[in-house]
Amino acid sequence: MSAFPLPAFNMRRFLATGLLVVATLVSFRLFPTDPRVNGSVQAIVLGIAFFLLLPMAYVLVVLKEPLPSIGFSGSVRKLGFLSVPIAVVPIVSIWYMLLQMTDAKTGYSLPAFIQSSFPFFVLYEVFLVGTIAFLYEVFFRGLVMLSWLTRSGIMSVFLQAALFIAFLVVPDGFGWEYVPMMFAALSSGFVAYHTRSIYYSWFSGWVTLFLADVLFLLFGR
């Protein structure tokens, strides 16, 4: 499959997209929440609005570009699926070492109900983790990396990861619970850069998060 042609650099487009990215992240963090409603449900609803629908509308209506420009396409490289294990294995290996050598095992946690029930664990990983990972993928790897920062080359992987990490830690500070997501941002970023497909990069990020939780259950408790 041929790659979506990169648009010529346009300062106006770059600044407008950057403003949208910053405004979206700030609005998401400042959006009022209802304490009577489950936090995960609210996060998913807000994520769908801010991280999925808004980027798609911006690309289609404002930029007038097709969705493949933010990664809604297959891999542009043959055997692009091979980039998934190449990106995931080293990252997950680092997480394993952190569980063994640092206080990650005491700082990281999972909901109690999934630690004692395999069916609940699978449902949690597939539906909740998978959905949140996809929403982040569309925004950070799709809009931010493949559209806004695409002219930065390989540096776009690290720039989008840095922005994602700032999004996670600025409100409440660093916590071990964020580390697998930080790792996932890197692994999926490399896959997105190689394939220009958020389907492959989403799978990479989700596998990273899934294996991180499996390793925690096996070696971190």
Domain ranges for the chain, please list them.
11-220
Whether the Cβ atoms of residue 218 and residue 95 lie closer than 8 Å to each other? no
CA distance to 36, 37, 136, 161, per residue, from 185 (Å): 31, 28, 9, 5
**pLDDT for 42:** 86
Contact partners, residue 162, CB within 8 Å, separation at least 6:
none
Give 135's Cβ-side CA count (13 Å radius): 19
Instruction: Quote the DSSP letter at residue 98.
Output: H
**pLDDT for 1:** 41
To 10 degrees, the CA torsion angle through 25, 29, 33, 39? 90
**pLDDT for 111:** 87
Give the global pTM: 0.91
Give 74's Cβ-side CA count (13 Å radius): 6
Q: How far apart are CA 183 and CA 205, in angstroms?
A: 8
82 three-class SS: helix
Q: How many CB atoms lie within 10 A of CB 21?
A: 21
Whether the Cβ atoms of residue 206 and residue 130 lie closer than 8 Å to each other? yes
Instruction: Quote the DSSP letter at residue 36.
Output: T
Q: How far apart are CA 140 and CA 169, in angstroms?
A: 15
Q: Which of 53, 186, 206 is nearest to 131 (CA)?
A: 206
Print pLDDT tens along the chain (221 aa).
Answer: 445 566 667 899 999 999 999 999 999 999 887 777 777 788 899 999 999 999 999 999 999 999 999 999 999 988 889 999 999 999 999 999 999 999 988 889 888 889 888 899 999 999 999 999 999 999 999 999 999 999 899 999 999 999 999 999 988 888 899 999 999 999 999 999 999 999 999 999 999 999 999 999 998 76
Q: Which of 135, 132, 155 is nearest to 143 (CA)?
A: 135
